[in-house]
Amino acid sequence: MKSLYSKFAVTTIAIMFFSGILSFLFTNMYYQNYLKRQNDLKIVKMASEISDFLHSHDQINLNEYLEHIGSIGYQLYITDGGMKKTYGAEFRERELSDKAVTEVLNGQIYHGIAQFPHKTFVTGFFANELKNTVGVPIEYKNKAYALFLRPDIKLLFNEMHIMFGWIVVGTILISMMFVLISTKFLVKPISKLNKATKLIAEGNFGIKLSIQRQDEIGALAASFKKMASKLENVNDMRKEFISNISHDIQSPLANIKGYIKLLRARKLDSEEKSYLEVVESEVTRLSNLTKQLLLLSSIDSKKDLMDVKHFNLSEQIKTVIRQYQWNLNEKGIVMSYTLPETFVNGDPSLLYSVWENILTNAIKYNIDNGEIDISLTENDTYYVIVFTDTGIGMDEGEIERIYDRFYRGDSSRTRTIEGTGLGLSIVYSIVEMHHGKICVESRKERGTTFTIRLRKV
């Protein structure tokens, strides 16, 4: 089946067809195992009542009485071995074994309805045959007769309705079940594609799609894989380009720095000095940017080459805090922390960049005399490090983009603060390399909380 259209059409028709057949088979089982016997008993009861009545009312005219029973909706056949007579609607098939007649004449009951052949489907229920009756012995005026009886088609109408009702309800229920199952099967690859799209949106291009179908969805999956590998190529090229450029910028920057040093040694007037300061700060900025870019590209290319060590995490975070003590004091920020001694496995220099980036953000985007709190806890699977600040905060739109390379918040306050917009994308990559998680909660003008979970190994 090539197209989704034909797959869908054929499945639906097949479901309708099979549900009809299955429901018919179930109804048939119900008839064979339950209804046939039940009906037989009901008619035996009725026949026995007729028999009892005739036995105790000898004076009544047998012929007239049986005609009356015939007229209220029964088909009857009476015989004493020689004489044979029918009442009510005619039997279509009047075949009946002599054995059955003799047995009834000898006082036994004939269960023709319950014993009606198994091979006949539920329609056997309505078979207008003499075989499909019950037989009871009758004693009338001291003479033995055999009376065979079945309700005629008019009396069976009610049962017929119930039976067709069962078939219809059964068909609906069974097809609903099949539709639910088949729809799931049809939709499954679409859910897979959806998951893959989300992965690509998050930047994971190496997706694996196990969709081997010949229809439109199969074609879509194939194009999707192609697109993912092209995107991966473009992404790799972009990273390589950035890394090459940053590398090439490094040496002219080092040259400029050297010349600045030479100029500083000279006697300059105050105006020249201030120009030199501007040049120096711009060069520092450029050099920071290229360093960060190089760090990012080395992270990208060396994902499996981490230098993992067992080291004191709390001590490392305290070192970072000490390093930025001057900036904290300058802004009047109150720093508090809970850092119980904890040893972790990880790449110390990479993780150092994480705490450094998050702490500098908490300082840069804080208000004067604000607060920062750092805590380190652990649970069964993770070490949890939480940085909370009382800074300018972010809205939903900003939060969504903070891990993008070069993204910087666009509030007027953020614009005046120095930064390249690479810090958090570096943090994200490093945390990911450590199989950890980073999440952020923030409210505009209230503050921000970054939570980093490092998996215990």
Ligand X SMILES: Nc1ncnc2c1ncn2[C@@H]1O[C@H](COP(=O)(O)OP(=O)(O)OP(=O)(O)O)[C@@H](O)[C@H]1O
Q: What is the footprint of ligand X within residues 289-348 (CB under 6 A)?
A: 292
Q: Taking Cα atoms as reference points, which of 387, 365, 398, 396 lies closest to residue 453?
A: 387
Q: How many residues bind Mg ion (CB under 5 A)?
A: 2
Which partner, Mg ion, ligand X, none, binds residue 448 by CB below 5 to 8 Å per kind?
Answer: ligand X
Question: Quick check: 337 and 373 in contact, CB under 8 A?
Answer: yes
| Residue 179: count of CB within 10 angstroms of its CB | 15
Which partner, ligand X, Mg ion, none, binds residue 408 by CB below 5 to 8 Å per kind?
Answer: ligand X
Which partner, ligand X, Mg ion, none, binds residue 189 by CB below 5 to 8 Å per kind?
Answer: none
Compare residues 113 and 392 and give the one whose CB is closer to ligand X: 392
Q: Taking Cα atoms as reference points, which of 245, 304, 438 lies closest to residue 358?
A: 438
Across 219-239, b (16+ Cβ under 10 Å) vs e yields ebbeebeeebeeebeeeeeeb
Q: CA-to-CA distance for 456 and 435, rounded, in angstroms?
A: 9
Distance in Å, CB of 283 to ligand X, minimum:
16
Question: Which residues, at least 6 apart from 340, have a Cβ–Cβ distance to it below 8 Å?
Answer: 314, 376
Q: Does 402 bind ligand X (CB under 6 A)?
A: yes
Q: What is the footprint of ligand X within residues 424-453 (CB under 6 A)?
A: 424, 448
Question: Quick check: 357 and 291 in contact, CB under 8 A?
Answer: no
Distance in Å, CB of 313 to ligand X, minimum:
21
Q: Does 31 bind ligand X (CB under 6 A)?
A: no
369 dihedral zone (left: phi>0; alpha: psi -120 to 50; beta):
left
Q: How many residues bind ligand X (CB under 6 A)?
A: 22
Question: Quick check: 388 and 449 in contact, CB under 8 A?
Answer: yes
Distance in Å, CB of 418 to Mg ion, minimum:
10
Binding pattern for the stretch 369-398 against ligand X, x by CB under 6 A and - elsewhere: --------------------x-xxxx----
Q: Does 422 bind ligand X (CB under 6 A)?
A: yes
Binding pattern for the stretch 351-370 against ligand X, x by CB under 6 A and - elsewhere: ------x---xx--x-----
Compare residues 124 and 419 and give the one whose CB is closer to Mg ion: 419
In the block, residue with structure tokens 């290229």: 290
Residues in contact with ligand X by CB under 6 A are 292, 357, 361-362, 365, 389, 391-394, 402, 407-409, 414, 419-424, 448
